[in-house]
Structure 1
Amino acid sequence: MKRIRLSFKGSLLTGSVLFGLIVLLGVLAPWVAPHDPLNVDLLNRLAPPSQEYPFGTDHLGRDVLSRLIYGIRTSVLIACAITVATLSVSLPIGLLIGYVRGRVDQLIMRGIDGVLAFPDIILTVAIVGILGPGFVNMTLAIIAVRWAGYVRYIRSLVQKACQEDYVRYARLSGNSHIRILRRYVLPQVLPQLVVYAVWDIGRVVLMIAGLSFLGLGVQPPKPEWGVMLHDATSYFQVAPHVMIFPGLAIMLFVLACQLLGDRFSEKEAAK
């Protein structure tokens, strides 16, 4: 039992440290990055890792480390903003249909089933293809695809909370529906929803990187991990560092989100 608890605390700490460190680097990018991420130096193109350039340079001589650090602002911070925006759209709908049910619930759930019938990345690519490539269109497309999964999850949490005795007592006591949702249901739903959102940020980062890799998301020369992977494909054999480090950055952040989501969900389940 002691080993299990130590493992739980260790993985939770690892995920928290990784997540916090990556976000902090993004916030402090102007003060932490050793070079200008947009500075082109063709004389130093595809330079290997060195003391001046710890992660080497890309095909235009730009510092890979600096571009990775500034890429956090696009890949991670924007993923957090997209997740918050998706929650803002999904939370009222999920609370409403989970609490009221009836015909409105059935109508909205049939639409959600239709959205969820398509894989996320395929539907997102289709929407961006219609709207056109770019950062704004990518953001709108991800929100348009991700909201359905959040609504379904929130609905299930609300329906489970409404079966609790204290919610039934609140109804019998004459509390209004809004008061019941705000005071009794929402506090029960929110912790599990936050866990789900933290875990989902990693998936959003993967979607941003994937769309940018395909040329449909963030456009060069803006630093972004998917854009860096796309630019590195032609030079992987002669300068593997230009692809390895962005790939490691994506892997570490997704791992941090996975550790946080899994450990917090286990903690909630153990209560």
Structure 2
Amino acid sequence: MSEMEQGIAGSTDEALSPVTDTATVGARLRAAREAAHLSHEDVAQALKFSPRQIAALEADDYAALPGATIVRGFVRNYARLLKLDATALLRQLEAALPSGPAEVRPPDNMGVASESRGLRESSPLLTLSLVLLLAALLLALWHFFGPTSQRTGTASVESTPGATSSAMPVIQNPVVSSVAAAPAENAVMPPPPPAPEATMSTALHFSFADRSWVEVTDANKRILYSGENLAGSQLDLSGQPPFDIVIGNAGKVSLSYGGKPVDLAPYTRAEVARLTLE
């Protein structure tokens, strides 16, 4: 048994005695922590949460925490750490949490920024394709209807001043016309430029069997997504790797990266998975 666990075991009963039955969940947790002589940093290290989130929970500031599902798991693991009755605290927590589904506020740059960037990247390729197709069409029309045959026939007639005017134009015009038409018939349309390859290697796909909170940050430390997802929903993201990912209620979430499944179990502590994908 570690020194932290010995301090918790010896101080839990003493911590609960001065706390009244009407004390909030945060007050009970704070009293038990102080009785065990633990700091916010000690608890944060054990639960893999930030000291700021520990302080917010003890102050019953649930709005500062990422979703009701994460808060429930947070309280359950905090109670286990302090040797408290997790079931009683969770029952009290349900009465304190706001009723109805939590409001999910994705960042302002989510979705819109990614869509705009995709349009900007595809616009030059689309313009180039249209220009090439238009040029090929004009080239074909010029071969069929251009003045090439007429100018060639005229030049042939003028180059033989001693010939009579009865047969030369009639003989030369069909020959020149067939020669001029041959390139048009055999003209090969230039192939359209290849479409940009899909960046499947940088695609993230989430499937949620239960409500879960997810936050994804790309290589530029830009938040691609931060919010709560309902059971049965899916989420697809793409950006510049490496990705820093935090997943609440990780046991109910499936993740694939570049089409390959990612095992979240090695990265999960207290129902929260934290990992980086290159």
Fold equivalence (TM over 0.5): no
* Structure having the larger proportion of residues in strand: 2
TM-score (norm 2): 0.22
Select the structure with the greater relative contact order (CA < 8 A; seq sep ≥ 6).
1
* Structure having the larger proportion of residues in helix: 1
TM-score (norm 1): 0.22
Higher Cα radius of gyration: 2
